[in-house]
A and B are shown apart, each in its own frame.
Chain A
Amino acid sequence: MQACPQVKNILVLDSEGKRVAVKYYSDEDWPTNGAKEAFEKTVFTKTHKTNARTEAEVTMIDSYVIVYKFVEDLHFFVTGGEDQNELILASVLQGFFDAVGILLRGNVEKSEVLENLDLILLCLDETIDGGVPLQTDAAVLANKVASHNIDSGAPLSEQTLAQALVTAREHLTRSLLK
């Protein structure tokens, strides 16, 4: 077993399995872009019919553990090795997923993600460093990414309040939909 939890990749794919933003941390497993695309295709085909919208789902493909969550037209995946603690991977996924939600103000869909790709890439960068989980708390993550993107007009305190409102609204809608 690995001494330290390692994430092998984080994928954000669209509703057709096309790459929106991805980051691989293991060149040994997928040495070429072709290998990466093949992996994305397999993962997408084997999961896209499942319902991973309320809770994160999980599966094993080719000896990798993959946890995933969907929202609108986006599919988020976090991949780890066979021995990996699924719950650690799930906490990485949840942290990144919720941070993106905060950054995009709950408006998480492909066009928004592409428009704010800079934020998404920074968020990926702050979530994992070379496979090692760097931060799994969504609020901290979002804050790290957004802190400098906020105009001086919107002070940090207000910003966090606004974020809190967004999150609260989300929770409310979710519980109503159940």
Chain B
Amino acid sequence: GGDLRLRNFVSPADRKRFSTSVFIPFSRKTLCSRDLEGSEAMAQPLVKKDDDRDDEAEYSPFMGIEKGAVLQEARVFNDPQLDPRRCSQVITKLLYLLNQGETFTKVEATEVFFAVTKLFQSRDVGLRRMLYLMIKELSPSADEVIIVTSSLMKDMNSKTDMYRANAIRVLCRITDGVLLTQIERYLKQAIVDKNPVVASAALVSGIHLLQTNPEVVKRWSNEVQEAVQSRAALVQFHALALLHQIRQNDRLAVSKLVTSLTRGTVRSPLAQCLLIRYTSQVIRESASNSQGDRPFYDFLEGCLRHKAEMVIFEAARAITELSGVTSRELTPAITVLQLFLSSSKPVLRFAAVRTLNKVAMTHPMAVTNCNIDMESLISDQNRSIATLAITTLLKTGNESSVDRLMKQITNFMSDIADEFKIVVVEAIRSLCLKFPLKYRALMNFLSNILREEGGFEYKKAIVDSIVILIRDIPDAKESGLLHLCEFIEDCEFTYLSTQILHFLGIEGPKTSDPSKYIRYIYNRVHLENATVRAAAVSTLAKFGAMVDALKPRVFVLLRRCLFDSDDEVRDRATLYLNTLGGDGEVVETDKDVKEFLFGALEIPLVNLETSLRNYVAAEEAFDINSVPKEVKSQPLAEKKAPGKKQPTGLGAPPAAPPSTVDAYEKLLSSIPELASLGKPFKSSAPTELTEAETEYAVNVVKHIYDRHVVFQYNCTNTIPEQLLEEVSVVVDSSDAEEFSFVLSKPLRSLPYDSPGQTFAVFEKPEGVPAVGKFSNTLKFIVKEVDPNTGEADEDGVDDEYQLEELEVVSADYMQKVGVSNFRNAWESLDADLERVDEYGLGPRESLAEAVNAVISLLGMQPCEGTEVVASNSRSHTCLLSGVFIGNVRVLARLQFGLTGPKEVAMKLAVKSEDIAVSDAIHEIVASG
């Protein structure tokens, strides 16, 4: 409020003098500030009396400024005799208001704009500059733009370079497409203007205009190319940026640009940074089809010796981000970044440590050389740098340094922002998994910071970390659970409370003394909101179900919950009491009851939702077993052009090929011949049978039934002048002995660009995962279509079109169905259902490649993220789950190891509900 009060103490005379003396150009400044000193001396005692701190400095020329008054003042723009200085002052006031977030109404803006345009009459240079600023800020509408166009165009052709440059920038900012074509000629000239300010103005305007009028700006490439050769540093930078944007979709052109510029000399550091970015892009795009030495690496490496720091850094960063970068390539980049770490400039240290932090995620060994420099950065004044240094050290550190690091971290945790804290917590989590013996120190650290202040994301990161440690480090379980219990005693986040309660229900009953958790859980029923109370009731029930000794106590507690004010809480308590036998004698809880109450819902929620929607509309009772368990495949990417023709005729096939599981089901059940086969066990993802961009596009979906397979051919006719009729696929199954042809369902007509389906049905032995190859030929009658009328000829010609082969493989008989807890699922199956064997997989590209090959051979769902192989690891364990034809649950544990250079061996353990299926899985691997 100091401003307001102060205003009252400034005498009207002062204010008047003030408003006229404020904007004196600075050559007369000395006079002005002496003036001010005088007035300050006068104001000071008054301010002090007012007991305001050091507000004497708050002497603003805009004190008490009001929009209405300034708009009134803007009338001076209409004076026949313009006072340039006064007009400049008023514009500054208007700009000040806008800058402070004040807005003008449409009417006000229009009035100001019209008044401002009068100022073009003045020849005062300073005023003209302010006028340009004002027009840009007002962003006039199209019909208003017309009024200033001619004035601006005149300035654009002025002899004064400053006018030309600024007029170009203003005009391009407010212009529309029509006007642009009128001034295009001048802009092209300006791009190659010998004055760098003018050239830059035109080039930067081009960068902006490319977003709205690409077709116009693209015509300037010759001029822009010339400007790239400019001797003026910034012109080169702006020209290069624009040229690249013009050509960014033309890979070849970008590659040529990079090739020629990396040989030549680029003068400006900014332009050199751009060139490094474009070079990385070219390297990225050519990486897939080249072998041996990486193209342009030498250029990037050479930039590490550039004299400008921004270029050195840009190059170092580019090298670290190369895909599949080798340690030999990395070394020179790491060396320059390490030098930056001890720079006196914080920005340089920050840039280096941020980049090294990223490198540490993928190549921790490459960064260890910098550890000593990193450690000294922990005490860096700049906390961002310190945080990045710590997390880098956590990623690269060894077991012996953990305790020392933790001590250093604890000291500074309190004065960094939440987002940095999250980074630290995540780094500590992975460190703990790396060095499980150190769990005590790390768990203590996590529980300490859990008690301190923090937002939701931060707290969630800590809780997630503790949960992961409990899961993966058995010794950490009991102390971790107690930390979580203490946390929910005073937790403001409902989501975290319910998650922790759920987790307690799973892990708590398995501990040595489950009873000690009951108190914490029951406290929630008293003190929390309904959501948390309901979660607590479920957790209590889990303890009751799993631990017989606790049953009587749990029943007492659950009965109290019957009087809860919330429906959900009462309902849950009632359900659990009844199913667990809480109203009768205390007996051991049935396995089925446990399964019913606490078993995981192994149905994708989307599928459940679809089934429930159908149920609401239908008469039949809902059966949870009818919900498909298969994870929905992604919808097909549609390749069609946007303005597609509507199918003609009533019997036209559906417009798009159905792509999801239920869409398939709907389609199959709508065709009588196929509906009689029952429900498919599995539908594969579509496989293309034609090359891209051919006359006819065909892909196939394999539907697997117990005794049949159905091939669904999705066909698209891409020739506008043709109509296809009686379309079918002739399938040769001579390489698939176990299959015999049953029927084919042709497609009556296939007009241009409206996909349709034809089917072929084969019989196979029941329940047997038969495999085989099928060759396919598309047969049809082709009729000419008149492109003008869209009418087809009467007569057609028989024709055929060769398609690719298709194959039915073992993976087609396996549904990808995950389990939420692999270990529990594995242990729930008897040991005598297990089959173990070892395989040599021969030379492989990498461990990861071998793992992926086996996963896709089996067609099973990887669990718990085990499909990801850490780089440089020499062994890997992968967990797979699926349902085999005949609805047999299958689990597989795969242990891979490198036995020699590139030689991979695998131990495969399979468990399934049917020992014959366990054998069959081994059969698949042995023959694959």
Contact = CB atoms under 8 A, between A and B. Distances in A.
Interface in B309-354: 309-310, 313-314, 317, 344-348, 350-351, 354
Contacts of B60: 110-111, 114
Interface in B242-278: 244-245, 248, 270, 273-274, 277-278
B471 interface: no
Interface string A47-87: 00011000111111110000100000100000000000111
Contacts of A1: 277
A41 interface: no
A170 interface: no
B146 to A, nearest CB: 23
Interface residues of A, number: 62
Given A88-B273, A90-B347, A114-B61, A3 B234 contact: no
A121 B248 contact: no
B241 A132 contact: yes
Contacts of A108: none
B382 A86 contact: no
A5 interface: yes
A118 B91 CA distance: 9
A117 B96 contact: yes
Given A111-B59, A115-B61, A56 B347 contact: yes
Contacts of B626: none
A148 B129 contact: yes
B417 interface: yes
Interface string A102-120: 0111010111001111110
A133 interface: yes
B819 interface: no
A91 to B, nearest CB: 6
Given A4-B245, A132-B207, A121 B133 contact: yes
Contacts of B169: 129
B133 A115 contact: no
Contacts of B27: 149-151, 153-154
B417 A46 contact: yes
**Most-contacted residue by chain A among B32, B36, B278, B384 (CB, 10 A):** B384
Contacts of A85: 273, 310, 313-314, 317, 351
B382 A115 contact: no
Interface string B350-387: 11001000000000000000000000000001111000
Contact of B25 (A21, A90, A136, A149): A149
Interface string A124-158: 01000110111110000000101111110110000
A144 B317 contact: no
Interface string B277-319: 1100000000000000000000000000000011001100100
Interface string A1-39: 101110000000000000101100000000001001100
A168 interface: no
Nearest to B350: A58
B125 A148 contact: yes
B351 A149 contact: no
A165 interface: no
B515 interface: no
B207 A87 contact: no
A164 interface: no
Contacts of B91: 118
B313 A110 contact: no
Interface in B13-45: 22-23, 25-29, 32-33, 36
B270 A117 contact: no
Contacts of B346: 55-58
Contacts of B345: 55-56, 90
A150 B57 CA distance: 27
A115 B273 contact: no
Contacts of A36: 101
B72 to A, nearest CB: 20
Contacts of A107: 33
Contact of A37 (B61, B92, B101, B313): B101
A3 B244 contact: yes
A61 B417 contact: yes
Nearest to A90: B347
Contacts of A110: 57-58, 60
Contacts of B133: 121-122, 125
Contact of B162 (A60, A117, A147): A147
Nearest to B62: A114
B126 interface: yes
Contact of B204 (A58, A116, A132, A136): A132
A151 B100 contact: no
A170 B244 CA distance: 41
Contacts of B36: 111
Contacts of B129: 122, 148
7 contacts: A3-B277, A60-B384, A116-B26, A117-B96, A118-B95, A149-B27, A150-B25
Q: Which 9 A-B pairs have the closest CB atoms?
A: A148-B125, A87-B310, A33-B101, A4-B241, A86-B351, A90-B347, A59-B384, A58-B350, A118-B92
Given A22-B99, A87-B314, A149-B126, 14 more contacts: A5-B270, A51-B381, A55-B347, A56-B347, A57-B382, A85-B273, A86-B350, A104-B26, A111-B57, A114-B61, A117-B62, A119-B26, A121-B99, A154-B27
